[in-house]
Amino acid sequence: MRKPAFLIAADRSNSGKTIITIGLVSALRQKGLSVAPFKCGPDFIDTAHLAKAASSFAYNLDSLFLGPDELKELFYDKLCLSDVAVIEGVMGFFDGIDEQFKASSYEIAKILNIPVVLVVDAKGMSYSLAAVVRGIQDLAKNVNIAGVIVNNIASLRHQNMIEKTLKNYTDVEIFGFITRNKELTLPSRHLGLTTAVEQNEEFYDEIGYEIKKEVDLNKLLALEVECKQKQKTTLAVFDKKACIAYDEAFNFYYAYNIDALKKLGYEVEYFSVLKNQPVCDADFLYLGGGYPELYASVISKNKESLQSIREHILSGKLTLAECGGMIVLLKGIFIDNQFFDFSGIFDAKSILNKKKKSLGYVEVTDTTGKFFSKPVIGHEFHYSSLVDVNQPYALKIRKITTSDTYMDGFISNATLASYTHFLFSKKFVKEFFGGAV
């Protein structure tokens, strides 16, 4: 069985790729289609926007976190259960961690053998746009560059110039021209775009409405791949419970991780630190990343929630705290010379900086050997840093792109807390949970 599927890529970041992909997902849903949305790379924020636009879970396709077989299994499982799959690329098409294009959109497209649609920003360019498209085609070996969506068209004359040069010098399909539109934007802050939990449903509907006026959805739906349905697995038996912090302050979670927990037999429940809710009676507590710094005043006052987190951890129950989740386990955070106290599980504090402190893939070595016997891959993106640390670090971090090393993170009882975000790959699950999915 063949089903529509394509990857939206770009020649560079800030081309309009994200807002256009969100719009396409929303527009396809408005046509009555069930959409399986994906995001290349480790990004949480774009993925959450895609999920809200599709009214379904969105998944990250990351070739550092997952091997080729795991990537294919994830992609085809979700595609075969939906009418169409839409993948948003990451940065420029070939931008990865090395000159071999590792962890790039190109690598994902090659592994999945999926058609690619290029979003090209035409601002400040006309006839030269054909050279950009031709160059990407020539470098993209064994990948089908099926067509283009041209963004930031200034006028009908501008559109005609670009259309002629693309038809004369390339063989790609033109799926649409998007007129320069200040409304087609997402507000942003220090970690990137604002989160999906801050947007209402109408926001995505409006983007979809704008995109479908200028993009030929039927042409896109003609881009198909073979749906390789695997045999159905037996349903998991829930014999454990996982409690996950989820609200405006903590919402950076991979959908893949939630699926993995369910496959491991965890019944998943959620609680809100911002609403001062206690941790549910659970075997595993998951404190994800997000924007606790924006709600530090509220969090510091919510003593019932903070105390329940302390009680869970001190009882020796399994806990994973990533980035913002780790921060809430510290004594507190300094923001603009004001200090907000948190749970105090770890004898350290954090401080919010004006510039980002870390961004990129890391290799994590557990120096205690308690959770990981071998190094595992993770990702960091944060503006805060640790200060007044009065207990030993537990993790040795190596930046994959630079090989720089430093110490980070803490382990106490059955709790692992660090700035690193993890994806629950089969390797990670075997090490951290001692099981298999």
Tens-place pLDDT, residues 189-230? 555 557 777 777 888 999 999 999 999 999 999 999 998 776
CA atoms of 6 and 9, how far apart (whole Å): 10
Six-digit token string for 200 = 């209402």
User: Hunting for tokens 């630190």 — which residue is that?
Assistant: 273
249: nearest Cα among 271, 269, 270, 274? 274
Convert the pLDDT of each residue in 368-425 to its tens digit: 999 999 999 999 999 999 999 999 999 999 999 999 999 999 999 999 999 999 999 9
114: nearest Cα among 278, 207, 279, 224? 224
CA atoms of 430 and 359, how far apart (whole Å): 26
pLDDT at 23 over 90: yes
Predicted confidence at residue 43, as pLDDT, reads: 92
Asked whether 255 and 31 are in contact (CB, 8 A), the reply is: no
- Give the angle subtended at the CA of 280 by the CAs of 276 and 286, to the nearest 5°: 85
Print the SS3 string covering the chain: CEEEEEEEEECCCCCCHHHHHHHHHHHHHHCCCCEEEEEECCCCHHHHHHHHHHCCCCEEECCCCCCHHHHHHHHHHHHHCCCEEEEECCCCCCCCCCCCCCCCHHHHHHHHCCCEEEEEECCCCCCCHHHHHHHHHHHCCCCCEEEEEEEEECCHHHHHHHHHHHHHHCCCEEEEEEECCCCCCCCEECCEECCHHHCCHHHHHHHHHHHHHHECHHHHHCCEEECCCCCCCCCCCCCEEEEEECCCCEEECCHHHHHHHHHCCEEEEEECCCCCCCCCCCCEEEECEECHHHHHHHHHHCHHHHHHHHHHHHCCCEEEEECHHHHCCCCEEEECCEEEECCCCCCCEEEECCCCCEEEEEEEEECCCCCCCCCEEEEEEECEEEECCCCCCCEEEEECCCCCEEEECEEECCEEEECCECCCCHHHHHHHCCCCC
Predicted confidence at residue 188, as pLDDT, reads: 60
Convert the pLDDT of each residue in 139-177 to its tens digit: 998 899 999 999 999 999 999 999 999 999 999 999 999
Buried-state track 232-266, b at ≥16 Cβ within 10 A, e below 16: eeeeeeeeebbbbbbbbbbbbbbbbbbbbbbbbbb
Least confident of 184-188, 270-274, 361-365, 378-382: 184-188
- Whether 323 sits among the annotated catalytic residues: the reply is yes
User: Hunting for tokens 């527009």 — which residue is that?
Assistant: 27
Which strands, in side-by-side order, build the sheet including 384-387? 338-341, 332-335, 349-352, 384-387
Q: Residue 330: pLDDT band by 50, 70, 90 thresholds?
A: very high
Asked whether 172 and 129 are in contact (CB, 8 A), the reply is: no
Asked whether 409 and 382 are in contact (CB, 8 A), the reply is: no
CA atoms of 427 and 437, how far apart (whole Å): 10
CA atoms of 431 and 374, how far apart (whole Å): 8
- The pLDDT of 92-116, averaged and rounded, is 95
Six-digit token string for 79 = 């595609």
Mean pLDDT of the chain, nearest integer: 93
Q: How many residues does the chain have?
A: 437
Predicted confidence at residue 412, as pLDDT, reads: 92
CA atoms of 308 and 283, how far apart (whole Å): 14
CA atoms of 225 and 79, how far apart (whole Å): 10
